[in-house]
């Protein structure tokens, strides 16, 4: 499938790069809806399930009640709330009041299109629905991008105590480059994607710079990043750390972009516990 897509996009780009960009942009903003792993089903069933309206779409959300601080879990692109199965048990044992949502076009939420700006609008609608924002926001990749972007914009009124940013690209272009590398398309296709990005969202790739956005985030945070992340290079995380007031950084090795394993949940729980003691 990738070979066919590569030939289609590169071939189209030779004669009409904007047309190739339009097709590639479609794949980027219309994510594949992946099935939940049966192994994650049990913890999802333990949640209280509900939906709220975002335009003409229903967005699915989860709540695992606890007596401790409230935590919001935000998954990334082509993922769902099921990705938090490893995080759930340590947080449950710590007594946290846990919330999660499936982004548009992901998991059990409706819709076909997705981008980080839309994710922020969904978050704002969700906070208005529940009447507040959870204390800590834990976001992986695109979910972390949405959390940071939301908190750096004065248009949005809600705020957490702290943000945990997991595997967030310093630059959106890092993610685009990885997408182009994965498919094997040339720079003409990338140019076409940027043209569509600007046409639809009124931004250039260079405008979406999380190493700069964090300068305007008024709450502290923890950056967790793997040294071998092949989607979001570690250099971006280090620049975010340098520019983010009251931020800490924890690096791993061998956990990849997904930050899998038992180490990361332990780091997150320890950070939240420490933050609660500090007040």
Q: How many domains does the chain have?
A: 2
Query: How many residues comprise the chain?
Result: 279
pLDDT given for residue 222 in this prediction: 98
Give the E-state strand segments of the chain in sequence order. Answer: 48-54, 57-64, 70-74, 97-101, 136-140, 162-166, 220-226, 247-252
Asked if residue 37 is part of any domain, the answer here is no
182 and 157 fall within a common domain: no
pLDDT given for residue 76 in this prediction: 95
50 and 122 fall within a common domain: yes
Nearest CA-CA partner of 37 in 109, 113, 107: 107
Asked if residue 36 is part of any domain, the answer here is no
Asked if residue 268 is part of any domain, the answer here is yes
- Whether 258 contacts 232, CB under 8 Å: no
The CB-side HSE value for 163 (13 A sphere, CA atoms) comes to 32
5 and 133 fall within a common domain: no
Q: What is the pTM of this model?
A: 0.91
200 and 110 fall within a common domain: no
235 and 259 fall within a common domain: yes
The 3-state DSSP class for residue 183 equals helix
Give the E-state strand segments of 144-226 in sequence order. Answer: 162-166, 220-226
111 and 165 fall within a common domain: yes
Give the residues across from 61 on adjacent strands. 50, 101
Last residue of a domain, one of 191, 208, 225: 208
CA distance 72 to 96: 10
118 and 11 fall within a common domain: no
Asked if residue 129 is part of any domain, the answer here is yes
Asked if residue 179 is part of any domain, the answer here is yes
- Whether 10 contacts 186, CB under 8 Å: yes
Structural domain of 181: 1-30+175-208
84 and 199 fall within a common domain: no
Asked if residue 38 is part of any domain, the answer here is no
259 and 199 fall within a common domain: no
Find the CATH number of the domain harbouring 274: 3.40.50.1820
21 and 147 fall within a common domain: no
6 and 93 fall within a common domain: no
pLDDT given for residue 15 in this prediction: 47
**Cβ within 8 Å of residue 28, ≥6 positions away:** 176, 179, 193
The tens-digit pLDDT sequence of the chain (279 residues) is 445 565 556 556 554 567 777 877 888 888 888 776 666 778 999 999 999 999 999 999 999 999 999 999 999 999 999 999 999 999 999 999 999 999 999 999 999 999 999 999 999 999 999 999 999 999 999 999 999 999 999 999 999 999 999 999 999 888 888 888 877 777 878 888 888 889 988 889 889 999 999 999 999 999 999 999 988 999 999 999 999 999 999 999 999 999 999 999 999 999 999 999 997
96 and 179 fall within a common domain: no
Asked if residue 115 is part of any domain, the answer here is yes
């Amino acid at each position: 499938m990738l070979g066919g897509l590569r030939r289609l996009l590169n071939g189209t780009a030779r004669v009409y790069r904007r047309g190739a960009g339009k097709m590639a942009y479609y794949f980027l903003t219309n994510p594949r809806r992946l099935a939940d792993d049966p192994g994650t089903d049990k913890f999802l069933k333990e949640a209280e399930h509900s939906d709220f309206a975002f335009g003409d779409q229903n967005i699915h959300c989860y709540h695992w009640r606890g007596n401790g601080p409230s935590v919001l879990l935000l998954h990334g692109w082509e993922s769902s709330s099921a990705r938090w199965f490893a995080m759930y048990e340590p947080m449950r044992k710590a007594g946290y009041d846990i919330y999660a949502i499936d982004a548009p076009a992901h998991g059990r939420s409706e819709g076909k299109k997705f981008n980080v700006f839309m994710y922020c609008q969904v978050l704002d609608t969700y906070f208005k629905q529940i009447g507040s924002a959870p204390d800590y926001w834990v976001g992986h990749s695109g979910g972390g991008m949405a959390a940071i972007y939301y908190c750096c914009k004065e248009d949005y009124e809600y705020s957490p105590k702290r943000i945990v940013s997991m595997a967030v690209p310093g630059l959106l272009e890092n993610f685009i480059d990885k997408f182009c590398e994965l498919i094997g398309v040339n720079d003409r296709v990338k140019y076409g994607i940027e043209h569509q990005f600007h046409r639809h969202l009124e931004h250039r790739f260079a405008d979406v710079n999380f190493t700069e956005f964090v300068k305007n985030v008024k709450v502290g945070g923890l950056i967790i990043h793997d040294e071998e992340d092949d989607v979001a290079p570690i250099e971006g995380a280090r620049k975010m750390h340098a520019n983010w007031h009251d931020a800490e950084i924890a690096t791993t090795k061998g956990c990849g972009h997904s930050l899998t394993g038992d180490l990361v949940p332990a780091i997150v729980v320890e950070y939240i516990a420490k933050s609660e003691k500090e007040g």
